[in-house]
Structure 1
Amino acid sequence: MGLTCKERILTGLLGAAVASGLTTLILFLVEATDILLPADSKFGIVFDAGSSHTSVFVYRWPADKENNTGVVSQASACQVKGPGISSYTSNPIEAGESLQGCLEEALALIPEARRPETPMFLGATAGMRLLSRKNSSQAEDIFAAVSRVLGQSPVDFRGAELLAGQDEGALGWITINYVLGMLVKYSFSGEWVQPQEGTPVGALDMGGASTQITFVPGGPILDKSTQATFRLYGTEHSVYTHSYLCFGRDQVLGRLLAGLVQSSRAPVIRHPCYHSGYRGSLAPAPLYESPCVHIAASPDLTRNLTVEGTGNPWACVAALRRLFNFSSCAGRGHCAFNGVYQPPVQGRFYAFSNFYYTFHFLNLTSRQPLAAVNATIWEFCQRPWKLVEASFPGQDHWLRDYCASGLYILTLLLEGFGFSEETWPGLEFRKQAGGTDIGWTLGYMLNLTNMIPAEAPALWRAESYGVWVAGIVFVVLTLVAILGAAAVQLFWPQD
């Protein structure tokens, strides 16, 4: 015999009450479980005060760190208008004021609530190192002016100071290997893991005043003054690194020209690295302002000089080699130049900054063989000046110097650092890796995040708003079902 209409209604209402009650019970059991929500992002600002210009980078990372190191990404980059801060010796206040535009651009990216805990640092490299040698009081005035401006911003200003050459090289190495996934990478399971395979990539940096080489050698580092050690993502790293002050692009070009001036007695200076047909006027005084230029005799600084190009790459290389002291390494193993210890280079290297800019102009960043690179540079050096001007309109500022820069890089890499035809294929000339600018600033921020406390993910109990609303809804439905069943029982006509 089937159920009556009344029985069917009662069964339905009681079933709904049971279902609603069970749902409510499950929700309140979940109440005892903590829900981990992603932590907010944190930010950092780094000023790279180079010899020729200043760049500002904003970085961000999850507030809950990975093995005590933030997983950092580049949020923005801004190039400060004007020259490097070391150029403001006559008016230090302008050095600080020049940073305002990029500082405001950086602050616009950072939520106000995060600004007081956002670290900001200005690191000055070889340009300010040279100024500190030449006139320490002028350098101190510039640092004071820069610190006044940055110290008034609503972030955690960590100071403006000289960055040691060794640190500059090591931090650049960190940047490259981080963006290439050699230090930490994202796994298919959605976790950040340390890679088990792959050799870290070496770093070759060249600014306007210095150049750095950093890599993991094949054996122990014998000269501990060239060793840098740091801990990232729970792993200890040790690298060979050395910085050569006065061997940056601008200083080498200045030293080269000063040497030609001092060795010439004629009123016209014949420059083998300038293209044939080039002719220009030169004020000699600025040549001798750098501590990198050594004066053999007191020059006449009142009379402008005339410089003519000869387009002779053989003589250009000979003049460049005189800037190095190769004899100090004669008979010594593991030595680069100027008597500096260096293990043999091995593995892959990324060459960036002025290494990249010079080779990019010469269209040599596609990993061409060494013979092709050498032939391209020598052919370029022998082009007449009129042909070069016609081929590259609007690039007059650096155009005359690309021949010298290209031959200098070859001399430095092959005769200085010891690269060869066998190791050349491991060299890559890059500006960016993984969409991130290569330089010391990202490495600095990664290293700094070791000192910034991690922020635990936010803990929400299940009595959060959404869960409470759902719970109340199901309680109401349960009561409605029970009351409905009672009403049916009381008021439904008896059979």
Structure 2
Amino acid sequence: MGKFSTYRYLELKDDTSTSHINVRTRSIKQPRRLKKIFIFLLILALCVTYFLGMFAGQAQWFDGLAKSLGYESVYHHAVIIDAGSSGSRVLAYKFRVPFTVFGQPNLDLVDEYFEETKPGLSSYVNDPEKGADTIVQLVKKAEHLIPFDKRRVTPLIVRATAGLRLLPKEKALQLIDEVAKAITKLGYDVGTNSVEIMDGSDEGIFIWYTVNLLHNLIDGETMAALDLGGGSTQITYQLNDQDKKNFPTSDIYTVPAGGDNITLYTHRFSSKELAKLNMSNEKMQKRLQERFLWHTPFKCNQIEHEHDVTHR
């Protein structure tokens, strides 16, 4: 009986030792297994992020996929009046907001409408009501693009340029006030700053934005822009930090571009200044180069490049 008990004790002891080893082995294997799972999930997350990042710049791919899954696009509209010195133009736009994964979505232009009337708003300096009516008629011509139920949330912006800047201040403000009163009756989103006389520097900056956005250069090496208007001419281009000291501070502006701030130089020539110069195109080009461009190299479209342009 004693031998049997001793044998049983040894057997139980061996079983306990084996069980202890098995538990220890499982406890060692479990963290290793969790570590492998963690590494796998980490690699999977990195791969997904990488591929999503590749497609993030391909908004059309994501947008097309979203539409196939039933995504409903959101549409926005805007009506802009350019009250220039030689004529007034209406530019109506229809945009859609595409589906996007990363960042803020860009607006896709779906449709647009353009119409022009002459003479310019400044020609009605002695008849502000008639001048305002020309603007109203332009807006009405674009109504086919703006659904009636969307007009109250559609911004209507009027910007007058050199034609009104050259008028006596009181006369110019009378025209602006009459236009503001007239367009508030059309049912659009019209605010206190919807009708204004644009500063010459704003004209230059906006044309610079237009040129570089159309060429997709905002984030890279930008181009200069020369706006030849009926009552003024603006020249605008980007400056680096070293060039700032060569220009008057009144012609230097800091503006947002590509997620950062950049410095632009813009200068306006009035029609009177240009008339006083009385130069040929060749002499004018030389004058501009000597005065503005001698120390600031930038890219331009190729001189020998030709293409047809249709002005509507």
Above 0.5 in TM-score?
A: yes
Deviation for aligned residue 1:424: 11
When residues 98 and 45 of structure 1 are mapped into structure 2, their CA distance, relative to the original with a 3 A threshold, is same
Indicate whether 1:110 and 2:146 are aligned: yes
Gaps of 5+ in 2: 1-68
Q: Verify the 8 A CA contact 2:97 2:107 in the aligned structure 1.
A: no
Q: 1:168 aligns with which of 191, 203, 212?
A: 203
Identity %: 24
Gaps of 5+ in 1: 1-34, 184-194, 257-318, 322-406, 439-495
State how far apart, in whole Å, the 2-side matches of 1:239 and 1:426 are: 16
The residue aligned with 1:59 is 93
Q: 2:287 aligns with which of 409, 415, 433?
A: 415
Indicate whether 1:210 and 2:247 are aligned: no
Deviation for aligned residue 1:46: 1.1
Deviation for aligned residue 1:435: 8.5
SS at match of 1:416: helix
Deviation for aligned residue 1:54: 0.9
Indicate whether 1:124 and 2:160 are aligned: yes
State the Cα deviation string for residues 361-401 of structure 1 (Å, max 9, x = none). Answer: xxxxxxxxxxxxxxxxxxxxxxxxxxxxxxxxxxxxxxxxx
The residue aligned with 1:221 is 244
The residue aligned with 1:154 is 187
Matches within 5 A, 1:233-382: 234-246=259-271, 252=274, 255=275, 320=278
Instruction: In structure 1, give the amino acid aligned to 2:188.
Output: V
Deviation for aligned residue 1:238: 2.6
State how far apart, in whole Å, the 1-side matches of 2:208 and 2:299 are: 19
Moved more, 215-224 or 139-148: 215-224
Deviation for aligned residue 1:224: 3.2
Deviation for aligned residue 1:235: 3.6
State the Cα deviation string for residues 193-212 of structure 1 (Å, max 9, x = none). Answer: xx6xx411110011121110
SS at match of 2:107: coil
Instruction: In structure 2, give the amino acid aligned to 1:169.
Output: G
The structure in which a higher percent of residues are helix is 2
The residue aligned with 1:325 is none
SS at match of 1:122: strand
The residue aligned with 1:98 is 134
Q: Verify the 8 A CA contact 1:179 1:436 in the aligned structure 2.
A: no
The residue aligned with 1:18 is none
State the Cα deviation string for residues 438-485 of structure 1 (Å, max 9, x = none). Answer: 9xxxxxxxxxxxxxxxxxxxxxxxxxxxxxxxxxxxxxxxxxxxxxxx
SS at match of 1:208: coil
Indicate whether 1:178 and 2:213 are aligned: yes
Q: Verify the 8 A CA contact 2:223 2:298 in the aligned structure 1.
A: no
Deviation for aligned residue 1:216: 1.3
Q: Verify the 8 A CA contact 1:41 1:63 in the aligned structure 2.
A: yes
Relative to the length of structure 2, the TM-score reads 0.63
Deviation for aligned residue 1:64: 6.0
When residues 106 and 237 of structure 1 are mapped into structure 2, their CA distance, relative to the original with a 3 A threshold, is farther
Deviation for aligned residue 1:70: 4.3
State how far apart, in whole Å, the 2-side matches of 1:70 and 1:173 are: 19
State how far apart, in whole Å, the 1-side matches of 2:223 and 2:142 are: 30
Instruction: In structure 2, give the amino acid aligned to 1:76.
Output: Y
Q: Verify the 8 A CA contact 2:236 2:266 in the aligned structure 1.
A: yes
Q: Verify the 8 A CA contact 1:180 1:434 in the aligned structure 2.
A: no
Instruction: In structure 1, give the amino acid aligned to 2:278.
Output: L
State how far apart, in whole Å, the 1-side matches of 2:188 and 2:258 are: 26
SS at match of 2:152: helix
RMSD over aligned Cα atoms: 3.3
Q: Verify the 8 A CA contact 2:208 2:225 in the aligned structure 1.
A: yes
State the Cα deviation string for residues 83-104 of structure 1 (Å, max 9, x = none). Answer: 1111111111111111233211
SS at match of 1:83: coil
State how far apart, in whole Å, the 2-side matches of 1:62 and 1:44 are: 12
The residue aligned with 1:143 is 176
Instruction: In structure 1, give the amino acid aligned to 2:208.
Output: W
Instruction: In structure 1, give the amino acid aligned to 2:268.
Output: S
Q: Verify the 8 A CA contact 2:78 2:154 in the aligned structure 1.
A: yes
Q: 1:76 aligns with which of 103, 113, 117?
A: 113
Instruction: In structure 1, give the amino acid aligned to 2:244.
Output: I
Instruction: In structure 2, give the amino acid aligned to 1:153.
Output: L
When residues 156 and 58 of structure 1 are mapped into structure 2, their CA distance, relative to the original with a 3 A threshold, is same
Instruction: In structure 2, give the amino acid aligned to 1:416.
Output: L
State how far apart, in whole Å, the 1-side matches of 2:115 and 2:207 are: 19
When residues 140 and 113 of structure 1 are mapped into structure 2, their CA distance, relative to the original with a 3 A threshold, is same
State how far apart, in whole Å, the 2-side matches of 1:95 and 1:69 are: 39
Matches within 5 A, 1:34-45: 37-45=71-79
When residues 36 and 69 of structure 1 are mapped into structure 2, their CA distance, relative to the original with a 3 A threshold, is same
Deviation for aligned residue 1:164: 0.7
State how far apart, in whole Å, the 1-side matches of 2:205 and 2:175 are: 26
The residue aligned with 2:222 is 200
| Higher relative contact order (CA closer than 8 Å, sequence separation 6+) | 1
Relative to the length of structure 1, the TM-score reads 0.41
Deviation for aligned residue 1:150: 1.4
Deviation for aligned residue 1:62: 2.5
Q: Verify the 8 A CA contact 1:56 1:78 in the aligned structure 2.
A: yes
